[in-house]
Structures are given as structure tokens and as C-alpha cells.
Structure 1
Amino acid sequence: MTPALRALLLAVAVLGASPLAAQSSKEAERKLQKLRSELKGVAQERRNLEGQRGQASRQLRDADEKVARTWRVLAQTETALQRETRAMNELQAKRDALQAGLQQQRAELASLLRAAYRIGNNAPLKLLLSQDRVADANRSLAYHRYLQRERAQRIQSLTADLTELQRVETEIVERRKALEGTRQQQKQQVATLADDRRERAATVASLDERYKDRSEREKALGQDAKALETLLANLRAAAARAEAERRAAAR
């Protein structure tokens, strides 16, 4: 209740049904009309704020859902990157093993070639050897040639495996590059959505505060209006009694 209204009620209570009470009654009616007008405006403002609060709250929920969805997608991208990293590590370990095997096969092939070369260069000496010794040398040379072919085939197979590994590694590198780009975009999107969410949350908080203020003001004005209505009713009743007493005395 405002100080002015409190003073008016006190004055009317003191004046009772005196002529000055009629003036107070008119003042009360004027104030009541003003209160009702303000109350109507405040009530309309409160209803408008209620609608704005509802819309802002829905927008905030939508922003929360967008942020959550983007975080989930980002988590999936992070998981995919981890998976590609593990695959790359496995391929690199396999490549290292293949390269070690290839190096060993090449060393063995080089050793076989040197041995075969030595056997081949000793061909003139075969004439000085017995028939059995010559046959042994030929068998040894044939065996070395077989091993050479086997080692060469093994080297060819290892080289093909390494070539395929290199191709797969290149694909993984490209996928990781694409995923890194996607992750950066998603992080930026999360940051943008989070900023938007904070702004909407601030809007909702502001509207809540204004709605609370208008609701409290509406309640206070309603109480003041009710007090004035009661006052006016009492003044009219007192005036009616005074008029009845005056007429009765005039008879």
C-alpha cells in the first residue's frame, strides 16, 4: 500500500461521515480509477511477459538440445579419430615388421647370389674333379638357384605387402585429415551454440525477473484497489445513513 493511500484511509477514518468525508470519497474514487487503470496496464504487461517467457524458455530448451546434439556428434568424431589412430599404429607396427623381413630376405638373397657366383666361377675346376664331385656341385648350384627364386618371390611378396600398406596408410592419413577438419568445425559450432545458449539463458533470467516484478506489482495494486473499494463502500454506506438520519430529523 502506498503512503498516499494509507494517509487517505486514515483521514477518512477520522472524518467519518462529515462533509469533508464526501471530498475524501471523491478523492478515493479518483485514486481508485487511477489504480484500476494502472492495474490493467500492469496486468497486460505481465501477460505479455508471460508469453515472452514461454517463447524464450522454448528457445532455451532448443538451444540446450542443439548443444547436446553437437557434443554427441563431436564425441563420435573424437572416437573415430581414436579408432583411426589405433589403426595407423597397427599398420606402422606391421610395416616395421615387413620391412625387417624384407631386409632379412634381401640379405639372404645376396648371400645366395654370392655363393652361386663362387660355385659358377669354379666351373673349370670341375674337369679336374671326379664325376661324383661334379654331380654334387651341379646339385648344389641347382639348389642355390632354387633358393634364389624362393627368396626373390618372397621379396616380391613382401614388397607388394609394403605397397598395399603404404596405400592403406595414405587412406588413413586422408581420413584423419578430414576428421580433424570436421572436429575443428564441430568445436567451433559447439562454441557458437554455447554462446547463443548463454544469451538465451540471460534473456530468460531477465524476463523471469521482470515477470516477478510485474506480478508483485499487480498483486499490490489489486490489494490497494480492494482496500479503496471497501473504503468507498463504507463511505457510501455512511453517507446513506447520514442522509436517512437527516430526513428523519426533518420530519
Structure 2
Amino acid sequence: MRGLARILGLVVLALPTAGADAGEREEKDRELHTLRGKIRIEEVAVGGLESQKSDLSSQLGALERRYGELSKSLRDLENQARSQERQLDDLKRQRAELRVGILQHNRTLIAQTRAAYADGRREWLKLALNQDDPARASRMLAYYGYLNRARSAQLQILDRSLAGTRELEAKLLAEAERLNSTRARIAREQADLEASRKQRRELMAGLEHELKDRGGRLKRLRDDVQRLQDLIAALPETAPPESRGAPDEQTPSERAAWPVQGPLLARFGSPRLSGQWDGVLIGAQEGSPVRAVARGRVVYADWLRGYGLLIIVDHGTGHLSLYAFNQSLHKALGDWVEAGDIIASVGSSGGRSEPGLYFGVRENGRPINPLQWSGRGN
């Protein structure tokens, strides 16, 4: 119902009255011209909506670019992780080969040690008992020196192999840590990517919701304007007879104090979703009687979108009173009413969740404070 109350206040003034002369007709034409100006204002609002759509699209584009960057980073990290895994596999194979070499060196060293021990005992014993052949003894000593050097070389190879194994193991640990760090980075990037996706979805949902909401509101506004224009054209040209005074001419006893008793839920000019209240909202129980605030003639009594069951009373001299959200209407189009007459009952029509009465007053098409008009103050 956003924006409808202001338009209703503008349009209702255009209701023609009996005896209206050419000057009054010209005044109504001017008011319709003002209404068309209001429509142009709404068209400007549509342009603002398109601008907002463009801004949201730019934000969406920024998110899409960020999404692409994160996707590329994620692919690069995954490639890096796969490369590190291949390197780890190579290091594991090298370590396995070294371990095989170490086992072979161990077996060779053990065999050489055993042979040297067995042969050495016999040869050293012979050399100790036989001193007749110094040359042979010299050759044997040289042979044992060779064996000792060979064993020493094998031991050095074993030491280097062990050192290489330890170095590879350290490298494996470093690579494993680097791989874990890379995986952690991937996890963080994935989390950022998911957050980006979520933000993108939320932005898209917000954009679609805003466009749908605003688009629907503008369509309803235009539809309501058209209905009100049709209403103006269809209303009978009737007005209170001269013997019946306008509201300002009536004595206090001839005017009802208030259309229904209850607390003020919204005051004139207070904020609402679509702007400001151009009337008041009075809380009351479902079915409570709604009374006319002054004498006049019913110029509208029907359902209107955004207002539910609505009744409008023309009091003459440009004054109209509006009663909306009713449960039922007790007066019909063209009926004359006096101040205090029951014209409707309180309801929650028009899509409201709680019962209440919208009460508005128009003076020459301009919404005025019903509290001031009725003498109840602010």
C-alpha cells in the first residue's frame, strides 16, 4: 500500500459535485494535472530504481571478478599441491633405494669381517710360527692392509648413505610441512571462495527481491492511480443540499467527536513503510461501529486495494472524510449521513493483520491532520 495514501488524497478531491460550475470543473482539471505530475514523479522514481539496479549490478560484477580470481588461485594451489605430492613420492623412492643399499653394505661388511676374522686367525698363527719366509709374511701383511682399507671404504660408504638418508628424511619432513601449509592455504582460499559465493547469492537474492518489490509496488501504484481515475469518472455528480451546511459551518453538536473510540496506533505524519501516514490509524475491536464525523453524502463505498472496504463521505466545500480497513459497510453510494451515523464497522480488510480504522481528511485534495480538523488537537 506504499504511496497509495498520498495518491488517494490527491485523487479523491477530483470527485465532482452537483451544481459544479465551469470554474469548479476547471479546478478539477487542474487537480488532475497535478495528479499527472505525481505520476511523472513516480516515473522519476522508476529511473532511480534503474540506477539502483545498475549500482547493484556493478557490485555483482565486482563479486564475479573476485570469484574468478579465487577460482584461479584455487586451481594454482591445487596444481602446486599435486607437484609437491609427486616430489614426495620421488623422495620416498630414493629413501627406499638408499635403505636397500645400506642393507647390501651391511651384508658385505659382515661377510668381509667374518672372512677376515677366520682367515686372519690362521694366517697370523702361521706367520707367528714360521719365520723362514719373510717375503710371504710381507705379502700377507699387505693383503690384510688391503682388506682393512676395503672395510674402511665400505664403512665410509655406509656412513655417507646413512647421512644421505637422514638428509632425505629431513627434506621429506620439510616438504611435508610445506605441503601441509599449502593445503591450509587451499582450505583458507576455499573458505574465502565459499564466503564470496554466499555473498554473491545473497546479493543476487537481495537484488531480485528489491527489483520484484519495487517493480510490484510501482505497478500497484499505477494500477491504483488508474482505478482512482476511473472512480472519479464514474462518481455521480451529487452534493449536499444548500440547507445542509459544510463541516466548517456545522455547530459542535452537529459533528461527531471521533469516528471510533480507541488508541491512536499511528499519528498523522508519522513514518510508515511507504513514507508517512496521511491520516490516523485508530485501534479498535473487530466489529466496533464507525461513525460519520460530519453530515455529507457517500460518494464511494466499496473495496479498494490497499484500503480494503473503504467509504468516502463528501461534506462539501472541498472536504472529504475517508474510513478504511472496515469489516463491513453500512451505507451505500449516494446515501446521506448525519454526524454520528454508523456508516461501517471496524475490521482488518485490505490485508491487515490486526483490526483498526484508517481515518483521513482531505481539504481541497490535500491531506490534513484529522485531529486538528476535529478539534482534538495534535
Tell me if both proteins adopt one fold, taking TM over 0.5 as the criterion.
Answer: yes
Match of 2:151 in 1: 148
Match of 1:83 in 2: 83
Query: Runs ≥4 in structure 1, deviation > 4 angstroms?
Result: 19-28, 210-222
Distance in 2 (alpha carbons) for counterparts of 1:21 and 1:217: 34
Residue segments in structure 1 that go unaligned for 5+ positions in a row: 1-18, 229-251
* Contact 1:67/1:193 (8 A) holds in 2: yes
Distance in 2 (alpha carbons) for counterparts of 1:39 and 1:217: 12
Match of 2:202 in 1: 199
- Give the number of equivalent residue pairs: 208
Match of 2:126 in 1: 125
| AA of the residue aligned to 2:43 | A
Match of 2:113 in 1: 113
Distance in 2 (alpha carbons) for counterparts of 1:149 and 1:108: 12
Distance in 1 (alpha carbons) for counterparts of 2:32 and 2:224: 10
Distance in 2 (alpha carbons) for counterparts of 1:70 and 1:32: 57
**Which moves more between the two structures, 82-91 or 122-131?**
122-131
Distance in 1 (alpha carbons) for counterparts of 2:198 and 2:98: 51
Distance in 1 (alpha carbons) for counterparts of 2:31 and 2:25: 10
* Contact 1:53/1:208 (8 A) holds in 2: yes
**Which moves more between the two structures, 207-216 or 36-45?**
207-216
* Contact 1:46/1:214 (8 A) holds in 2: no
Distance in 1 (alpha carbons) for counterparts of 2:174 and 2:95: 15
- Identity, in percent, stands at 20
2:178 to 171, 175, 178: 175
Distance in 1 (alpha carbons) for counterparts of 2:71 and 2:131: 84
Match of 2:60 in 1: 60
Measure how far apart 1:53 and its partner are: 0.7
| AA of the residue aligned to 1:187 | Q
* Contact 1:81/1:176 (8 A) holds in 2: yes
Measure how far apart 1:81 and its partner are: 0.9
Distance in 2 (alpha carbons) for counterparts of 1:210 and 1:43: 16
Measure how far apart 1:82 and its partner are: 0.8
* Contact 1:50/1:211 (8 A) holds in 2: no
RMSD of the TM alignment (CA)? 3.3
Measure how far apart 1:211 and its partner are: 6.0
Secondary structure of 2:67's aligned partner: helix
Match of 2:288 in 1: none
| AA of the residue aligned to 1:82 | R
More strand by proportion, 1 or 2? 2
Distance in 2 (alpha carbons) for counterparts of 1:169 and 1:106: 24
| AA of the residue aligned to 1:180 | R
Distance in 1 (alpha carbons) for counterparts of 2:191 and 2:118: 69
* Contact 1:49/1:210 (8 A) holds in 2: no
* Contact 1:119/1:137 (8 A) holds in 2: no
Measure how far apart 1:33 and its partner are: 3.4
Distance in 1 (alpha carbons) for counterparts of 2:73 and 2:98: 37
CA distance 1:119–1:192, change in 2 (3 Å): same
* Contact 1:53/1:204 (8 A) holds in 2: yes
More helix by proportion, 1 or 2? 1
Query: 2:98 aligned with 1:98, yes or no?
Result: yes
* Contact 1:84/1:172 (8 A) holds in 2: yes
| AA of the residue aligned to 2:126 | L
Match of 1:32 in 2: 32
Measure how far apart 1:138 and its partner are: 3.0
* Contact 1:43/1:218 (8 A) holds in 2: no
Residue segments in structure 2 that go unaligned for 5+ positions in a row: 1-18, 231-378
| AA of the residue aligned to 1:68 | G
Distance in 1 (alpha carbons) for counterparts of 2:71 and 2:208: 24
| AA of the residue aligned to 2:79 | T
* Contact 1:35/1:221 (8 A) holds in 2: no
* Contact 1:42/1:214 (8 A) holds in 2: no
CA distance 1:136–1:47, change in 2 (3 Å): same
Measure how far apart 1:200 and its partner are: 1.1
**Which moves more between the two structures, 45-54 or 168-177?**
45-54
Normalized against structure 1, the TM-score is what? 0.70
CA distance 1:23–1:129, change in 2 (3 Å): farther
| AA of the residue aligned to 2:206 | T
Distance in 2 (alpha carbons) for counterparts of 1:71 and 1:50: 31
